[in-house]
Amino acid sequence: MTSWANFGTRDLHLDLRGALSPGARGTREALIGALRDAVRSGRLPSGAMLPPSRTLAQDLGVARNTVAEAYAELVAEGWLASRQGAGTWVAASTEARATVTTAAPTTPTVPPKRRPGPALPRGRHVEPVHNLMPGTPDVSEFPRSQWVACMRRALAEAPHKALRMGDPRGRPELREALAEYLARARGVRATAESIVICAGVRHAVELLARAVGGPIAVEAYGLFLFRDALTALGVPSIPIGIDAHGAVVGELDDIDVTSVLLTPAHHNPMGMPLHSSRRLAVVEWAERTGGYVFDDDYDGEFRYDRQPVGALQALRPDRVAYLGSTSKSLTQVLRLGWMVLPDALLPAVLDAAGGAQFFVDAISQLTLAEFISGGYYDRHIRRMRARYRRRRDTLVSALAPYGVDVGGLAAGVNALVRLPDGAEAEVLRRAGDAGIALQGLSLMRHPLAPRELPDPDGLLVGFAAPAEHSFAPAISALCDVLSASGL
Q: What is the pLDDT of residue 242?
A: 95
Q: What is the pLDDT of residue 95?
A: 40
Residue 349 — very low, low, confident or very high, per pLDDT cuts 50/70/90? very high
The mean pLDDT of 116-123, rounded to a whole number, is 40
pLDDT reading at 348 higher than 50 = yes
Q: What is the pLDDT of residue 4?
A: 64
Q: What is the pLDDT of residue 170?
A: 95
Question: For 82, left (φ over 0), alpha (ψ -120 to 50), or beta?
Answer: beta
The mean pLDDT of 423-446, rounded to a whole number, is 94
Question: How do residues 215-227 score in pLDDT, each as one tens digit?
Answer: 999 999 999 999 9
Question: How do residues 283-317 score in pLDDT, each as one tens digit?
Answer: 999 999 999 999 999 888 888 887 777 899 999 99
pLDDT reading at 108 higher than 50 = no
The mean pLDDT of 151-175, rounded to a whole number, is 92
Q: What is the pLDDT of residue 3?
A: 67
The mean pLDDT of 462-475, rounded to a whole number, is 95
Greatest Cα pair distance in the chain: 86
pLDDT reading at 122 higher than 50 = no
Q: What is the pLDDT of residue 13?
A: 76
195-198 and 337-340 beta bridge pairing? antiparallel
Q: What is the pLDDT of residue 111?
A: 33
Return residue ranges of the chain for CATH 1.10.10.10.
4-99
Q: What is the pLDDT of residue 83?
A: 82
- How many Cβ atoms sit within 10 Å of the Cβ of residue 383? 12
Q: What is the pLDDT of residue 101?
A: 35
Q: What is the pLDDT of residue 123?
A: 42
Q: What is the pLDDT of residue 117?
A: 36
CATH number among 3.40.50.720, 3.40.50.2000, 3.40.640.10, 3.90.700.10, domain 144-374: 3.40.640.10
The mean pLDDT of 408-414, rounded to a whole number, is 89
Return residue ranges of the chain for CATH 3.40.640.10.
144-374
Least confident range from 155-159, 254-258, 357-361: namely: 357-361
Return residue ranges of the chain for CATH 3.90.1150.10.
130-141+379-484
Q: What is the pLDDT of residue 10?
A: 63
Q: What is the pLDDT of residue 48?
A: 87
pLDDT reading at 168 higher than 80 = yes
CATH number among 3.10.180.10, 3.30.540.10, 1.10.10.10, 2.60.40.1180, domain 4-99: 1.10.10.10
Please state, in angstroms and rounded to a whole number, the distance separating the CA atoms of residues 269 and 380: 24
pLDDT reading at 124 higher than 70 = no
pTM: 0.76
Residue 241 — very low, low, confident or very high, per pLDDT cuts 50/70/90? very high
Q: Say what percent of the chain tops pLDDT 70.
A: 89
Of residues 374 and 403, more confidently modeled: 374
Q: What is the pLDDT of residue 321?
A: 98
Question: How do residues 314-329 score in pLDDT, each as one tens digit?
Answer: 999 999 999 999 999 9
Question: How do residues 64-90 score in pLDDT, each as one tens digit?
Answer: 989 989 998 888 888 888 887 788 989
pLDDT reading at 37 higher than 60 = yes
Q: What is the pLDDT of residue 18?
A: 55
Q: What is the pLDDT of residue 2?
A: 61
pLDDT reading at 113 higher than 50 = no
Q: Say what percent of the chain tops pLDDT 90.
A: 64
CA distances from 138 to 195, 202, 356, 387 (A): 28, 21, 33, 10
Q: What is the pLDDT of residue 103?
A: 35
Q: What is the pLDDT of residue 208?
A: 97
Residue 105 — very low, low, confident or very high, per pLDDT cuts 50/70/90? very low
* CATH 3.40.640.10, domain 130-141+379-484, yes or no: no
